[in-house]
């Protein structure tokens, strides 16, 4: 599975979580409407998509983080873990 595909899948899952059609991967999560409860669900989704590379303590997720930035963090974590 390519990294682009993972980012696309992440966007689809976030849209599902937020109950919207689509989300822009470059829009900050706060602007998308992601709240603290959604972040918990988002971390679970990330654990499924980015198997073996998710350590929630090491992720930097706030209202200004975009999905593209989150994808980059998870991809980097997978590279350093592997």
Q: How far apart are CA 72 and CA 21, in angstroms?
A: 23
Global confidence as pTM: 0.86
DSSP annotation of 63: T
C-beta of residue 64 within 8 angstroms of C-beta of residue 30: yes
What does the domain layout of the chain look like in residue ranges? 3-81
Q: How far apart are CA 54 and CA 74, in angstroms?
A: 7
What pLDDT is recorded for position 30? 94
- The H or E element spanning position 68 is helix 67-81
Q: What band does 76 get if pLDDT is binned at 50, 70 and 90?
A: confident
Ramachandran bin of 62, using left for φ above 0, alpha for ψ from -120 to 50, beta for the remaining angles: beta
What CATH architecture does domain 3-81 belong to?
Answer: Orthogonal Bundle (1.10)
User: Per-residue pLDDT for 49 more than 70?
Assistant: yes
């Amino acid at each position: 599975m390519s990294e682009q595909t993972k980012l696309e899948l992440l966007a689809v899952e976030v849209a599902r979580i937020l109950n919207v059609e689509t989300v822009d991967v470059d829009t900050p999560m706060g602007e998308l409407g992601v709240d603290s409860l959604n972040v918990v669900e988002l971390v679970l989704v990330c654990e499924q998509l980015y198997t073996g590379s998710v350590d929630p303590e090491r992720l930097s997720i706030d209202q200004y983080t975009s999905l593209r930035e989150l994808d980059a963090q998870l991809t980097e974590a997978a590279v350093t873990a592997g």
